[in-house]
């Protein structure tokens, strides 16, 4: 069975709740019913915007899934400044990004933290987008494969095959994030193919066949068609280009453009 592509907009620390409302209303206008039937779309605003975005998506019946960028692994407690997975689930959040390289690099998240977060998100009834990716130094030293497979095996450790089959993994080479430097479709496919084989080796063929693998790192409307044409790439995790409706819609509508190169 073909995997439904998932295009996700990670807004990072951009847009207050007024900007967020305007952006999702515009997305609801520029993305037609056909677009949202062919491709699943999620938006991941900052926490302070979630309730506003939820209200617009639900009241205007916009077929875009609500996502979050992070969460804590505990359900509640004395964890000042943190947000618990059940709080996100209560807002009808469907996807939670876990282990983004910015969380790992800037906030010291370890593979163990990531694994706890993955389990907590699943326990609360949501789905994870588990991120992995190598630095430029690691790539140049030939360490890409070990880094990304290590992050995925550690992040999903202890999960059953049927659960893994329903998840999303995002391959985001750190050197391609926010730099305008995209991995070539060949390089992105090579790593995403490796990740699928890694899932097959640990959780079996059925899980590998159904798990969705996104590419992220300077995805734009013009490079999306070639990336999306790769057999093991099932969508995109988009940063900068997700901050405006036109540039995000151009990625969601990748089928309308002819692949380049
Ligand atoms: P850019 O699309 O801005 O490179 O960001 C990618 C990313 O980090 C998405 O999570």
Can you list the positions of beta strands (E) in the chain? 6-10, 40-44, 65-68, 93-98, 127-132, 168-171, 212-216, 235-238
Q: 207 C-alpha vs ligand 1 centroid, how far in Å?
A: 26
- Secondary structure letter of residue 255 according to DSSP: G
12-27 per-position pLDDT tens digit: 999 999 999 999 999 9
Domains along the chain with CATH numbers = 6-257 (3.20.20.70)
Residue nearest to atom 7 of ligand 1 (CA): 239
Residue 180 has a pLDDT of 86
* Cβ 177 under 6 angstroms from ligand 1: yes
**Which atom of ligand 1 lies closest to the CA of 179?**
4
* Cβ 237 under 6 angstroms from ligand 1: yes
Q: 42 C-alpha vs ligand 1 centroid, how far in Å?
A: 14
50-102 per-position pLDDT tens digit: 999 999 999 999 999 999 999 999 999 999 999 999 999 999 999 999 999 99
Q: 78 C-alpha vs ligand 1 centroid, how far in Å?
A: 32
**Which atom of ligand 1 lies closest to the CA of 177?**
4
* Cβ 216 under 6 angstroms from ligand 1: yes
Number of other CB atoms surrounding residue 18 within 10 Å: 10
Residue 258 has a pLDDT of 57
Instruction: For residue 261, give both structure tokens.
Output: 């190169």
**Which atom of ligand 1 lies closest to the CA of 219?**
2
CA distance 128 to 225: 25
CA distance 218 to 182: 5
Instruction: For residue 100, give both structure tokens.
Output: 């983004």
pLDDT average, residue stretch 22-42? 96
* Cβ 232 under 6 angstroms from ligand 1: no
Helix (H, G, I), strand (E, B) or coil at 92: coil
Give the CA distances from residue 188 to residues 117, 145, 169, in Å, rounded to whole numbers and listed in that order.
Answer: 26, 12, 13
Q: Give the catalytic positions in this structure.
A: 100, 172
Q: 40 C-alpha vs ligand 1 centroid, how far in Å?
A: 18
N-terminal to C-terminal alpha carbon distance within the chain = 28
Please answer whether residues 253 and 47 qualify as being in contact, where contact means their C-beta atoms are separated by less than 8 angstroms: no
Instruction: For residue 79, give both structure tokens.
Output: 């964890």
Q: Is the pLDDT of residue 1 over 80?
A: no
pTM, rounded to two decimals = 0.97
């Amino acid at each position: 069975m073909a995997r439904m592509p998932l295009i996700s907009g990670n807004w990072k620390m951009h847009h207050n709740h007024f900007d967020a409302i305007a952006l999702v209303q515009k997305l609801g206008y520029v993305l037609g019913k056909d677009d949202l039937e062919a491709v699943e779309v999620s938006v991941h605003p900052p926490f302070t915007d979630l309730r506003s975005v939820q209200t617009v998506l639900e009241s205007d019946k916009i077929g875009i899934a609500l996502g979050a960028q992070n969460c804590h692994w505990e359900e509640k407690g004395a964890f000042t400044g943190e947000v618990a997975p059940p709080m996100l689930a209560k807002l009808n959040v469907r996807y939670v990004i876990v282990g983004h390289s910015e969380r790992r690099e800037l906030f010291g998240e370890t593979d163990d933290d990531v694994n706890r977060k993955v389990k907590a998100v699943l326990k609360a009834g949501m789905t994870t987008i588990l991120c992995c990716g190598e630095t430029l130094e690691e790539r140049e030293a030939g360490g890409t494969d070990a880094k990304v497979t290590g992050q995925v095996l550690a992040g999903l450790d202890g999960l059953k095959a049927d659960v893994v089959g329903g998840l999303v993994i995002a391959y985001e080479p750190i050197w391609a994030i926010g730099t305008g430097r995209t991995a070539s479709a060949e390089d992105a496919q090579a790593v995403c193919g490796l990740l699928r084989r890694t899932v097959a080796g640990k959780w079996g063929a059925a899980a590998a066949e159904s798990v969705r693998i996104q590419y992220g790192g300077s995805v734009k409307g013009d490079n999306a068609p070639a990336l999306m044409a790769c057999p093991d790439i099932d969508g995109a995790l988009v940063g900068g280009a997700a901050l405006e409706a036109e540039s995000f819609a151009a990625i969601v509508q990748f089928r309308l453009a002819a692949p380049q190169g």
